[in-house]
């Protein structure tokens, strides 16, 4: 089965063709970094316009790259939520129009669950139940995966998401947009033990996240001491504090669900320090850890197509 995936939840337009939920035949992505760079963040109206400008050409390119025709598409999977309403509407409208015109079934996909489904594109032997951690610009969520198509939220961010505070702290430090990768780059030169920023755990059993306190602490630190001479130390110490919380919350979730399988997803899962700390944790606890390649951590349509395939296959059986 050839599945067309459509992803327009924020500032990347992506269309992909995936066969049977596993084999990526095409995964075309158009970034909007240049559009939003001068604003220091995503401008929703500009994001919507940019999606409109490229979605047609990306669809044709996805067909060319996958070497199939539109008549061979068996299913359309489109991101329905969460995301910017205007951006989501562009992808949804395109998918529904194609579905109606070509008589192709369409399934709606949750963007966060799709990030975890990116692991299905690279790994076949994932054992369930599993714990999944999604770390992106707008969300930090823990999931329990009962199967490839059944995921339930265990915990979520109560204020700023991890990726969001990476971007905000990067702006405070006057780093280039996008902030997350810039901060990670600067942090490589710093001492992660130089400054002790607070970590919010929200109680001994909580699986929710709160990073606004860390962000505020960095802001006050910069106001008090300045950042001209120790930007690298600030970045490294901040990054360590955020990742320490992420690892601890994963530890709690894994112990609660008594599972030996952990999946990561989301743009922040590209962070090398986070990947390294999660690998250390998994090795020490005897856990099978799965992390997508960096290109599949960012917003992309291949993960949407993969999850759409399993959702559709499951509904077809019931």
Mean pLDDT for 167-190 is 95
233 annotated binding-site participant: no
Homologous superfamily of domain range 2-117+297-317: ATPase, nucleotide binding domain (3.30.420.40)
266-280 pLDDT tens trace:
999 999 999 999 999
186 annotated binding-site participant: no
Rounded CA separation 212/287 (Å):
30
Q: Are 159 and 210 in contact (CB under 8 A)?
A: yes
Query: Which pLDDT band, with edges at 50, 70 and 90, does 123 fall under?
Result: confident
52 annotated binding-site participant: no
20 annotated binding-site participant: no
138 annotated binding-site participant: yes
Return the domain boundaries, the chain.
2-117+297-317, 124-291
Q: Is 50 exceeded by the pLDDT of residue 150?
A: yes
288 annotated binding-site participant: no
CATH no. of 124-291: 3.30.420.40
Query: Which pLDDT band, with edges at 50, 70 and 90, does 318 fall under?
Result: very low
137 annotated binding-site participant: yes
Rounded CA separation 67/115 (Å):
26
Q: Which residues contact 37 (CB under 8 A, 6 or more apart)?
A: 177
Q: What is the pTM of this model?
A: 0.94
pLDDT of 316 reads 53
pLDDT of 41 reads 87
CA-closest candidate to residue 53, choices 94, 96, 95 = 94
Q: Which residues of 41-71 are buried (b: 16+ CB within 10 A; e: fewer)?
A: ebbeeebbebbeebbeebbeebbebbebeee
139 annotated binding-site participant: no
What does DSSP say about strands 140-145 and 151-156: parallel, antiparallel, or unpaired? antiparallel
């Amino acid at each position: 089965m050839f599945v067309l995936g459509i992803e327009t939840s924020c500032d990347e337009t992506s269309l992909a063709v995936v066969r049977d939920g596993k084999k990526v035949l095409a995964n075309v992505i158009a970034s909007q970094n240049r559009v939003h760079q001068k604003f220091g963040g995503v401008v929703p109206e500009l994001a919507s316009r940019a999606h409109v400008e490229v979605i047609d050409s990306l669809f044709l390119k996805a067909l060319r790259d996958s070497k199939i025709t539109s008549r061979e598409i068996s299913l359309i999977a489109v991101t329905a939520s969460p995301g910017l309403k205007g951006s989501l509407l562009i992808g949804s409208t395109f998918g529904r129009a194609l579905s109606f015109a070509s008589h192709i079934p369409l399934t709606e996909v949750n963007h966060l669950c799709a990030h975890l489904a990116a692991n299905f594109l690279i790994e076949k032997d994932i054992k369930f139940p599993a714990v999944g951690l999604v770390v992106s610009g707008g969300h930090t969520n823990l999931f329990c995966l009962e199967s490839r198509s059944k995921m339930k939220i265990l915990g979520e961010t109560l204020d700023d998401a991890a990726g969001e505070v990476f971007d905000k702290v990067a702006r405070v430090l006057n780093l280039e947009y996008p902030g997350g990768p810039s901060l990670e780059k600067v942090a490589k030169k710093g001492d992660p033990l130089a400054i002790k920023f607070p970590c919010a755990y929200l109680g001994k059993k909580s699986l929710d996240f709160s990073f606004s306190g860390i962000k505020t602490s960095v802001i006050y630190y910069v106001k008090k001491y300045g950042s001209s001479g120790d930007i690298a130390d600030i970045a490294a110490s901040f990054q360590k504090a955020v990742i320490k919380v992420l690892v601890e919350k994963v530890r709690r979730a894994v112990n609660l669900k008594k599972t030996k399988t952990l999946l990561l997803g989301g743009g922040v899962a590209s962070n090398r320090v986070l990947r390294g700390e999660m690998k250390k944790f998994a090795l020490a606890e005897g856990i099978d850890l799965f992390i997508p390649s960096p290109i599949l951590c960012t917003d992309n349509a291949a993960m949407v197509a993969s999850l759409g395939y399993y959702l559709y296959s499951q509904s077809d059986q019931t």
